[in-house]
Chain A
């Protein structure tokens, strides 16, 4: 599994401290639903997803995005045990939500672009590498109890 170096952890935690989870969450989920429209399949109950502005302004999208990123924040406190941290959520996503784990990879990649938007040059190749490692680890952990 992913081994996070001291540099990885520093890059991840220091950037995370500057993230507004509410805003970034809505932004990330919204962009996922716009850029990869087939991901909308899980959100029939969310109301209007008919245009990019409808999606980005949708309060349910914002709320759910915040929920997802809050969960990610918990993971950041437990980088050495992502599988343990996400065990139950993995079962939930498999048994109840039936989410293809590929969606976790897509969401993680979108989060990385959102972080790049907010941090510009500070989001160096090395920082990106740490974060891609992070989101890959989360995606893997979320898929780990699928059966």
Chain B
């Protein structure tokens, strides 16, 4: 459950990302592949050539989904249901990978926002992204 302050922190940070989903998403993926090479297996074409256009395109898609989650943070299960199906039936990303993506997300936020990335923002986003990943893996079995 998110408190009112946490919701405010989440929205505040999202407002800084909105409009730049592709750029943030591409950097997120690049960090993921560089820091945690084992994750590349889930993105075979993308991680092999690391074509900038494809990273931007896929990054955009991923961050757009995060944006949708922000819009519906009070009802993530319903909002993310199709994505939960996709992850359970098609993608089948091992749940252990979500904390790795979350760490890279935090680093993207931290390196862009720097001193503006308050401890409250970091806490709220960690909680929020963890909830998102719980929902995305909720139909695995």
Q: Using a CB–CB distance below 8 Å, which chain A residues touch chain B? A: 30-31, 34-36, 52, 55-56, 109, 112-114, 116-121, 123, 125-126, 128-129, 132
- The answer to whether B31 touches A31, judged by C-beta atoms less than 8 angstroms apart, is no
Interface centre among A52, A56, A119, by most chain B C-beta atoms within 10 angstroms, is A52
Residues of B within 8 A of A116 (CB): 106-107, 110-111
Task: Report yes or no: B119 in contact with A56, Cβ–Cβ below 8 A.
Answer: yes
Query: In the complex, are the beta carbons of B107 and A128 less than 8 A apart?
Result: yes
Does B103 interact with chain A (Cβ within 8 Å)?
yes
B114 cross-chain contacts in A, Cβ below 8 A = 117-118, 120
- Residue among B114, B115, B119 having the largest count of chain A Cβ atoms under 10 Å: B119
Q: Is the CB of B119 within 8 A of A113?
A: no
Total A-B Cβ pairs within 8 A: 62
Pairwise interchain contact A125-B122, C-beta atoms closer than 8 A = no
| Interchain CB contact under 8 A, B35 and A129 | yes
Q: In the bound complex, what is the Cα–Cα distance between A34 and B31 (angstroms)?
A: 25
B90-104 contact mask (Cβ, 8 Å, vs A): 1 or 0: 000000000000011
A118 to B110, CA, bound (A): 8
Q: Which residues of B contact A129 (CB under 8 A)?
A: 34-35
Residue positions of B touching A, CB distance < 8 A: 27, 30-31, 34-36, 103-104, 106-107, 110-115, 117, 119-120, 122-123, 126
Contacts of A132 in B (CB 8 A): 35-36, 103
* Nearest CB of chain A from residue B122's CB, rounded to whole Å: 6
Q: Which residue of chain A lies nearest to B104 when distances are taken between CB atoms in the complex? A: A128
What separation, in Å, do the CA atoms of A34 and B106 have in the docked complex? 15
Chain B residues within an 8 Å CB radius of A126:
34
Q: For the complex, give the distance between the alpha carbons of A125 and B36 in Å.
A: 10
B111/A121 in contact, CB under 8 A: yes
| B117 cross-chain contacts in A, Cβ below 8 A | 113, 117
Instruction: Give the top 8 A-B pairs by smallest Cβ distance, nearest first.
Output: A116-B110, A125-B34, A116-B111, A129-B35, A35-B123, A113-B110, A125-B31, A117-B110
Residue with the highest number of chain A CB atoms closer than 10 Å, among B30, B111, B113: B111
| 13 CB-based A-B contacts, threshold 8 Å | A31-B122, A34-B122, A35-B119, A55-B119, A112-B107, A113-B106, A113-B110, A117-B111, A123-B107, A123-B110, A125-B30, A126-B34, A129-B35
